[in-house]
Structure 1
Amino acid sequence: MSAPALNRFADSAAPASTEVIEVSIVMPCLNEARTVGRCVAKAVGALEELGIAGEVIVADNGSTDGSPAIAGEHGAKVVHVTQKGYGSALQGGIAAARGKFIIMGDADDSYDFSRIEGFVEKLRAGDDLVMGNRFRGGIQRGAMPPLHRYFGNPLLSALLKLFFGSPIGDCQSGLRAFRKDAYERLRLNTPGMEFASEMVVKSCLNGLKISEVPIMLHPDGRGRPPHLRSFRDGWRNLRLMLLLCPLWLYYIPAGLLLSVGLFLLMWLTPGTQAIGRVKLDVHSMLLGALCVILGYQTLWLGFLAKVYGHFSGVLPSGPFIRGLLQHVTLERGLITGAIATVVGLGANLW
């Protein structure tokens, strides 16, 4: 790809590189020769029609069907991203974007890039993340598999609401917009399809202003199976949500284990108990002790996960963790441990 082809849209239909670009439209691409040209043409046309200073960026992830050349011919700036994955391609494209606002969407012609005004209006009004909601805007026949429409997407959206208080009704929508400065604060890093959930999760954790606009989902025009793998990518999304939510991964299971374990220990301390014809004795007490040990260890795992999240920047720091870490130091920990050891040895000798 020659240099003029890479920057054709930025040099002609968009302002020069020294001028401020308001909107960058970023499309991840992997062998989308049948549709990428139409998507780019719609995006370029929308920017021109709305009078927006903008650019279209196609983040190519190793296409072998001529997609980059087609994108460049229709006015896009092509960015080649070597690290494989949906999230990796988008991160590469967004890093190259010069716009204050970013609109991202798939290059398979399932989204209408000529209808971006709703996203731009929300961003100009001060929203940080604007999600396209396909359930509110309409899903054409054959555009979404029933498994995704009636189970996968609603389930993941419901879990996001439960775990993080997300206001989003369509968390897996591929058409969304956001402020680039807000995006950079999130420090997103997942390489695969879970990038979509990571963006929503960290937006909720960091208190970003989130809204939705209705969009229409069309059947894609790629003529081949999608890159998405339902169960593999669904699990990766769920795993990410759990890893970013110590409350549901650690604290709630720890609370259940401790409650069950302590109940069994206290209930069986006087002696054998019977439930109908079933007798619970010392073996059930051992089970209760095991539950207490597992619950205690899980509780500490949750605390250590919060501390790691604080230092790594993966999780925002709450006032409790910040206050605790201000007072807990290595020296104080050594002194406390030494005192506890002396007291314990003294108690045993006494």
Structure 2
Amino acid sequence: MAIELTILMPCLNEAETLATCIRKARGFLDRAGIAGEVLVADNGSTDGSREIAVREGARVVPVSQRGYGSALQGGIDAAAGQYVIMGDADDSYDFDNLSPFVEELRNGNDLVMGNRFRGGIEAGAMPFLHRYLGNPVLSFLGRLFFRVPAGDFHCGLRGFSRDRIRALNLTTTGMEFASEMVVRAALAQYRIAEVPTTLRPDG
């Protein structure tokens, strides 16, 4: 059976939370009846994260070049799904309910951004300045200069068409990879949608 969805988790020493994230992601796939996989892009973990991922039923792809962007690029290249939903393995995002992302992808959107401000930010999940100053200002600038229709420019939970994102030839290797993805998708006039998501305190 062809795999429709890859749930991709970049990972560097996330042994405390990785199993929980994988179980939630696999539970979602089972409940939704989606042909999918959980893929862990391991960026050199030394705490047993790889072994945990395999034990929990995830596929692991090792990515030797360090950096958040490098891990995601390696995972995207290795993904078997038509669509990819990426999210950190620190249990800060809600892998239990990814249906809104899947729905928008099936509707033909190339990139689907999560919005933590619309979905809910639990107490302690985002520093005060990030919540009320930094993120809103950066999101406003993104809408102003790049016409990105997103109210949460830096949300790390997002879905996309694997082939369309690979076509952008993204190059950054660090945390800026997430911003590069949004900006270049907007400049390429990709269809971008936004759905509510929930942010919880790490771990």
Superposed, 1:181-260 pairs within 5 Å as: 181-221=163-203
| TM-score when normalising by structure 1 | 0.57
Task: Tell me the distance in 2 between the aligned counterparts of 1:180 and 1:31.
Answer: 26
User: Are 2:155 and 1:173 equivalent residues in the alignment?
Assistant: yes
Name whichever structure is richer in helix by fraction: 1
Superposed, 1:302-321 pairs within 5 Å as: none
Structure 1 residues 90-110: Cα deviation after superposition (integer angstroms, max 9, x where no partner): 000111001000000000001
Gaps of 5+ in 1: 1-18, 222-350
User: Are 2:128 and 1:146 equivalent residues in the alignment?
Assistant: yes
Name the structure 2 match of 1:310. none
Task: Tell me the distance in 2 between the aligned counterparts of 1:150 and 1:62.
Answer: 34
Secondary structure, in 3 states, of the residue corresponding to 1:213?
strand
Structure 1 residues 27-47: Cα deviation after superposition (integer angstroms, max 9, x where no partner): 000110000000001111111
Q: Which AA in structure 1 matches 2:169?
A: R
Secondary structure, in 3 states, of the residue corresponding to 1:87?
helix
User: Are 2:107 and 1:137 equivalent residues in the alignment?
Assistant: no
Q: Could you tell me how far 1:114 is from its partner in structure 2? A: 1.2
Secondary structure, in 3 states, of the residue corresponding to 1:55?
strand
| TM-score when normalising by structure 2 | 0.98
Task: Tell me the distance in 2 between the aligned counterparts of 1:189 and 1:39.
Answer: 27
Name the structure 1 match of 2:68. 86
Q: How many residues align?
A: 203
Runs of 4+ displaced beyond 3 Å: none
Which of 105, 112, 117 is equivalent to 2:94? Answer: 112
Task: Tell me the distance in 2 between the aligned counterparts of 1:139 and 1:175.
Answer: 13
Which of 32, 52, 72 is equivalent to 1:70? Answer: 52
Q: Could you tell me how far 1:159 is from its partner in structure 2? A: 1.3
Task: Tell me the distance in 1 between the aligned counterparts of 2:192 and 2:37.
Answer: 24
User: Are 2:15 and 1:33 equivalent residues in the alignment?
Assistant: yes
Name the structure 2 match of 1:52. 34
Q: Which AA in structure 2 matches 1:81?
A: V
Task: Tell me the distance in 1 between the aligned counterparts of 2:53 and 2:173.
Answer: 23
Identity %: 64
Q: Could you tell me how far 1:151 is from its partner in structure 2? A: 1.7
Task: Tell me the distance in 1 between the aligned counterparts of 2:49 and 2:133.
Answer: 33
